[in-house]
Structure 1
């Protein structure tokens, strides 16, 4: 495996976090090298078992979170191999096989580990087709004949089921909302996701910048990422941090990789500089989870750096509201904000799994069914040495994070306003007649 340094692609990590959950707005799936994309697929039992064995063997050597899951949830996923095979033997058709395999992956308690649905597959094709030579290992998997055939059939069935004769559903939900909680004093912006439509985070840059210019002289800005399941790191780096900082902000994280051969093409494409575990001193290892020395061959240092750009000139206090649904790229934002002091992080601990990955998540094409399986590439550690997947990002100030249907009913916002009042200035109570939605 090559040991080269390249940080540029780090910003693409977790770019595709949410697409697996969506089945709407389906587009045409590539059918290169696909002799009969419209055929009805039906697997034999031997093919189903072989697909599971293939995935199991790759996970055994490459999946980074087995020890975390055993410690946190008492899950011995590798030890349940025979049980999982028996579940698969009870499936009667391809749909049941897919559902059973998805259920087996759910037991790993990691939202990034899943079988991609039709929308997720299509979005992956679109994204990686834009990324040049770096994307070739992913495209090699996505464009396999058995994959394109499977997803053509699955996509057609999904479109017919959801859309009837119309053939598509158009999503038009904004990624963010802005508001003024106290005129000339407290501004508020909530990000529901870091994925904008068509994956174009630049679309939101102008309206976000306009709002930030409007409130540049305010004393407090509340940024709310509760319920934000992730998306593109570029979204918060360039749309939020860059215009609000006057100096470079930099955070560095350890990431650990198992060292299985399957990941080699993906790691090489990202030009990641890997180090052998034995390069770490014993005094350093004492702060890390015990599996670092027993289960992993390599480590890397992942740097997230944000430079000032189109600076607004905001000099007030920034608070970042988080909860257990702040996941992936939203967790990365929380960790970065806490590490760099960009913002005071408030709420409950995040959902985690946002740091330590040097490349986009690898994917597997199951050889018979053509289903695409995605999984995290590495074990990321918090600055204190704990596992980010296990301990997540802890806020600077812990308060309940319940989201209310109005600001008055939003416990977290009300608690944060009390903190702001105590630390900064008296706040005139929000007008009781205001029933503006908090979400």
Structure 2
């Protein structure tokens, strides 16, 4: 496994440059850790920790749900099917259960407070009554230290125990929700209020008797019973869609029918909001064929750039992926492969500065630059203004959709920076020969339209809007008090509220 990843994983040099962790340099440490394991549980948990140290959302031991998706990939994707055939569902589930066990809190156990990373800080949005009375801390304060360590340093040191997000604005690693590992011992936490006062508290894990919902958006996300939610907002002036995942295209017929019916209904509505928040991806063909082609009024062009490592293992995966998706209806792509020595004379100085330097080195094949065109299907051409809501939960194929919107100009992105690792080809897999543990890892390093690495800078919204601390706290208070949101509510949702304002302002001015 180590040798395959060392020669084929596209992000190892990027992670060293951006996050300061040289995964390859720890080979002997990894060997010692594996040798020291005493049973299956320790073995697979050590494998997962080694993978988590790369710190990429596509790099992990494969679980049952993903394994079933891989088994149902198009038959042309032979390398994936070959690797999947080396293990089975029972084995996958057994290993993955052990992985999950190492990362989960004991049932009904949690810290006496909960915090969400918001605007570069860990905003406390819920505190137990006992903890609040004892230490005189309330929702709205922020965490400044943990175990006498700056909270951002503390979180960065959790690398390998959980997947950490990367914040391209503040250039730091973070957890979306402050959920440090369960160690049994309490954490010493310093809280800071909005007046600069601090409180030091001992936070022990305790029994939680009722669920505390994290501040996920849209507000009705906890009530959604299907993958597609549609609504008409602002007295018929704004159409709204939330899509939870990009379903495998061959299984998306019902969702396609729902979308086409809604698109026909809203053809005269002046604005459409497509909410991608908390969509962690799936199949690119879902958004290409079920959203963009039906709504497009003219051909839409997207610039794409990608590079792969020089390792031999990844090549059959790339060849199979290119062949399987070369004839998607309504899509054409023209590309060119440039040698590393030619790139400096073709790119502008700014583009060259943005380009991840590792692509120009000997460990990467010459990058491929292409222009992909999506032709309109003519089903429901939409003449209104389109907006896409973004956030850090946007990942993989949902990220690719946002990259397309940014590159083509088809829609205006509103919200927070996305989660990254979009574009490129289907991630590869390897099944360990003796244990039959399947492992997933990305196949390509994808570039944004400005030639930055998407895994590094993610996709920047056209209109940056971050949830306000006040809205988050009011939202959680409402949830805690039992309020049920049957539809998205802009009174608690900063991003949706601003997008609605923009939509009404821009459509009225047209």
What TM-score results when the alignment is normalised by the length of structure 2?
0.64
Return the alpha-carbon distance in structure 2 between the equivalents of residues 362 and 280 of structure 1.
29
Equivalent residue number for residue 174 of structure 1: 226
Is the counterpart of residue 413 in structure 1 residue 480 in structure 2? no
Equivalent residue number for residue 432 of structure 1: none
Q: CA 1:202–1:306 in 2, change beyond 3 Å: closer, same or farther? A: farther
Is the counterpart of residue 301 in structure 1 residue 372 in structure 2? no
- Which of 4, 14, 19 is the matching residue for 1:73? 19
Contact 1:66 1:77 survives alignment (8 Å) = yes
Is the counterpart of residue 104 in structure 1 residue 104 in structure 2? no
Equivalent residue number for residue 301 of structure 2: 250
Return the alpha-carbon distance in structure 1 between the equivalents of residues 22 and 96 of structure 2.
34
Alpha-carbon offset, residue 302 of structure 1: 4.5
Which protein has the bigger helix share?
1
Matches within 5 A, 1:232-381: 232-271=283-322, 275=337, 277-278=339-340, 280-284=342-346, 286-287=352-353, 288-294=355-361, 295-355=363-423, 357=424, 359-381=425-447
Q: Deviations over 1:330-383 (max 9, x none)?
A: 11111111111111111111111111x2x4222111111111111111111111
SS at match of 1:112: coil
Is the counterpart of residue 141 in structure 1 residue 88 in structure 2? no
Which protein has the bigger strand share?
2
SS at match of 1:262: coil
SS at match of 2:505: helix
Q: Deviations over 1:165-216 (max 9, x none)?
A: xxxxxxx9511211111123111111111126x9612220111111111111
Alpha-carbon offset, residue 281 of structure 1: 3.0
Q: CA 1:336–1:84 in 2, change beyond 3 Å: closer, same or farther? A: same
Q: Which moved more, 1:275-284 or 1:321-330?
A: 275-284
Alpha-carbon offset, residue 384 of structure 1: 0.6
Equivalent residue number for residue 141 of structure 2: none
Equivalent residue number for residue 422 of structure 1: 505
Equivalent residue number for residue 84 of structure 1: 30
Alpha-carbon offset, residue 92 of structure 1: 2.4
Contact 2:359 2:367 survives alignment (8 Å) = no
Q: CA 1:184–1:152 in 2, change beyond 3 Å: closer, same or farther? A: closer
Return the alpha-carbon distance in structure 2 between the equivalents of residues 348 and 341 of structure 1.
18
Alpha-carbon offset, residue 243 of structure 1: 1.4
Over the residues paired in the alignment, what is the CA RMSD in angstroms?
2.6
Q: Which moved more, 1:87-96 or 1:173-182?
A: 87-96
Alpha-carbon offset, residue 228 of structure 1: 0.7
Equivalent residue number for residue 265 of structure 2: 214
Contact 1:187 1:220 survives alignment (8 Å) = yes
Contact 2:92 2:438 survives alignment (8 Å) = no
Aligned length: 351
Q: Which runs of 4+ in 1 moved over 6 A?
A: 156-159
Is the counterpart of residue 384 in structure 1 residue 450 in structure 2? yes
Contact 2:92 2:437 survives alignment (8 Å) = no
SS at match of 1:278: coil
SS at match of 2:21: coil
Contact 2:416 2:460 survives alignment (8 Å) = yes
Return the alpha-carbon distance in structure 1 between the equivalents of residues 441 and 95 of structure 2.
25
Q: CA 1:81–1:99 in 2, change beyond 3 Å: closer, same or farther? A: same
User: Which structure 1 segments of 5+ residues have no match?
Assistant: 1-54, 163-171, 427-439
Contact 1:322 1:401 survives alignment (8 Å) = no
Alpha-carbon offset, residue 158 of structure 1: 8.0
Alpha-carbon offset, residue 236 of structure 1: 1.0
Q: CA 1:158–1:382 in 2, change beyond 3 Å: closer, same or farther? A: closer
Q: Deviations over 1:128-182 (max 9, x none)?
A: xxx23x32222222212xx23xx434447989x99xxxxxxxxx95112111111
Q: Which moved more, 1:117-126 or 1:57-66?
A: 117-126
Return the alpha-carbon distance in structure 1 between the equivalents of residues 426 and 31 of structure 2.
29
Contact 1:318 1:344 survives alignment (8 Å) = yes
Return the alpha-carbon distance in structure 1 between the equivalents of residues 289 and 250 of structure 2.
14
Contact 1:60 1:78 survives alignment (8 Å) = yes
SS at match of 1:254: strand
Alpha-carbon offset, residue 274 of structure 1: 7.9
Q: CA 1:157–1:71 in 2, change beyond 3 Å: closer, same or farther? A: closer
